[in-house]
Each structure stands twice: as structure tokens, then as C-alpha cells.
Amino acid sequence: MSGAARALLAELTQLGAAIDACGGTLKLRAPEPLSPDLLERVRAAKPEILAALSAPAAADIERAAIIEHDAGYSADIADRHAREGWRAEDWRAWLSETAARRRRIGDDHGEASRFAYGAAISEWHARHGARRVPGRCPGCERPIDERARVLALPGGERVHGVPCLVRYGARWRSAAADGLAGLGISAPTGRAP
């Protein structure tokens, strides 16, 4: 990404704006209306910003190793999954294997299926969840005062308190469940996202 595009993203962050890649479009949210000049610069840099926001995470190599180990896939298939994402049949195979492992340790079919679905929700979020916006609470989407007491989450997110934590959790679990449902994978009986 060019220095100009990087500076533009920094300027948007400074203004409290959040920008996400949604397919081939950019979703831009800001607490205050943005100037026409700034919006024009975003439009001009759209291809670069989309590429940067859609680029595979630096953790793809690590993710491939985890996929290879946990799912038992060969290195080349694990690498493809890490780079290109999983198709519906990949998610189904992973769910099936995860549930089978749980049954081997004594879970009944229902418990194993619910556990596997919960793990899939978390994995979907890790792969496809909205990117964290530094300085912004993912629960209420308001800026976080650096001097305020906040809850720090394992993924680096910071929320204002328990209400924001609950709101954020419900939001990302619902988005992940919708993503899996789009692949034809629904929650097993007795499991809400």
C-alpha cells in the first residue's frame, strides 16, 4: 500500500471513522460527516484500500500449520485453505471431524455437534470477522478514551464494559452464524449462536 493510502487510513482512524471491505465495496462509518475532499480521496484510493483490507493476514502460514495439524489435511491443502478460505464442503468436513474427536473423548452426538458448531462460529469470526478499529469499542462503536478503564479482550479488542462486551459478542456470533448459514450450515438443535 502506498504511503498516501496509509496516511489516508490513519486520517480516517484519527477522525474516528471505521472502514471495512465488503466484497468489492468499502463500508465507511464515521461519527461526524466527512468532508467531500476526504470522501473523494477515499474513492480515488479505493482499489488500494480494498486490496489492503482484503489481503490475507500475516498469520496465514501459522494458520496453515494449525489447519494441517488439527484437521489432518496435507500441507498443500492446508496452505490453500489458509490463503483462499474454505468452501462449504471444507467447513462440513471440519465440523464432522471436530465432532468425531469430541465423540471419541466421550461426548454424545448432540454435545459433540454443539461443540463443533461453537468452534466453527469462533473460527468463522477469526477468519471473516470485521477488522478491529484501533481506539474504537466494537460493542458500541464509540471511541475509547485512552485514560478510561476498559476490558481488554484476547484478540486485542477493548470494550467500555460488560454491556459493550455482551453487545459485541452477540454481534460477532450472529455475523458468524449468518456466514455459516450462507454455506448451508446451521446450528444443531439446542445451540443458539
Query: Tens of pLDDT along 45-76?
Result: 888 887 777 655 545 555 555 555 555 556 66
Residue 17, pLDDT > 70, answer: yes
Measured in residues, the chain has a length of 193
Residue 167, pLDDT > 90, answer: yes
What pLDDT is stored for residue 58 in this prediction?
46
Q: Regarding beta strands 158-159 and 151-152, do their DSSP bridges make them parallel or antiparallel, or are they unpaired?
A: antiparallel
DSSP state of 157: -
**Which secondary-structure segment (H or E) carries 10?**
helix 3-14
* pTM value > 0.75: no
Residue 115, pLDDT > 80, answer: yes
DSSP string, 22-58: ETTEEEEE-SSPPPHHHHHHHHHTHHHHHHHHHSPPT
